[in-house]
Amino acid sequence: MKPSGAQGSMSDGTLLPQLIRFGVVGAAGFVADVGGFNLLRFAGGEGPLYAYPLSAKVASGVLATVVAWLGNRYWTFRDTRRAKAHQEFLLFAVVAGLGTLIAMLCLWVSHYVLGLTSALADNIAANVVGLGLALVFRFWAYRRHVFSSDGDGSALSEVAEHGHHHDAPAGAADTGAAERVADRAADRAADTGAAPSPLADGPEHGSHHVR
């Protein structure tokens, strides 16, 4: 049996190229994250979110998430990406959000618990220690849960696919209703001993046989 999704890439010789691409995309996301964080906090001396380091980290994390998803979907994991982009992005956003929480936790401990409030200390806590830990977590989670073309059976995948099962196409619903009406018309025709009309696709046609 051929391995599927992210697990298959570990045995078919594509892991190293995938790691390289992931690193390049991660670097682009890192620039967006760090650059956005510092612009929001320190642009012009005191940026718009100078007094709100956690808010600045959230905003820069959102920007980095969009950059990283586009790069990973269309380049890093292009061979195992999901067919439904909205499901994939939902999973990606959950994993990325957890990674951002890891970085924020490191920043919170440094800034508020240890009292290290300088620009250097904030960057080390958020963008070196925090992003480093988040990077390890995200790489594992992306390969295991997000970029898996046939799903992995995990709770995360089921959450993403839950809406799909409840959003049946309108055409399918209409076809099912028409089949039920035709069946009822055939049953009525059988009760009266008449052959069902080939045009019996609605209640009004079935009623003629009853009469």
136 and 58 assigned to the same domain: yes
pLDDT in tens, 130-173: 988 988 898 889 988 898 765 545 555 555 555 444 444 444 44
Kindly state whether residue 91 falls inside one of the protein's structural domains. yes
Classify residue 149: in a domain, yes or no: yes
Statement to judge: residues 158 and 174 lie in one domain: no
Same-domain check for residues 176 and 157: no
- At 32-75, the pLDDT tens digits run 999 999 999 999 999 999 999 999 998 998 898 889 999 999 99
Q: Please indicate, yes or no, whether residues 178 and 100 belong to a single structural domain of this protein.
A: no
**Conformational region of residue 115, where left means phi above 0, alpha means psi within -120 to 50, and beta covers everything else:** left
CB 101 within 8 A of CB 141: no
Mark whether 39 and 114 lie in a shared domain. yes
Is residue 40 domain-shared with residue 100, that is, in the same domain? yes
In a domain, 188, yes or no: yes
Q: Which domain holds residue 121?
A: 13-162
Q: How many helices (DSSP H) and strands (DSSP E) are in the chain?
A: 9, 0
Q: Are residues 108 and 178 in the same domain?
A: no
Same domain, 146 and 63: yes
**Element (H or E) spanning 105, and its range?**
helix 85-108
Domain count, the chain: 2
Structure pTM?
0.55
Residue 131 lies in a domain: yes
Q: Looking at the domain assignment, is residue 117 inside a domain?
A: yes
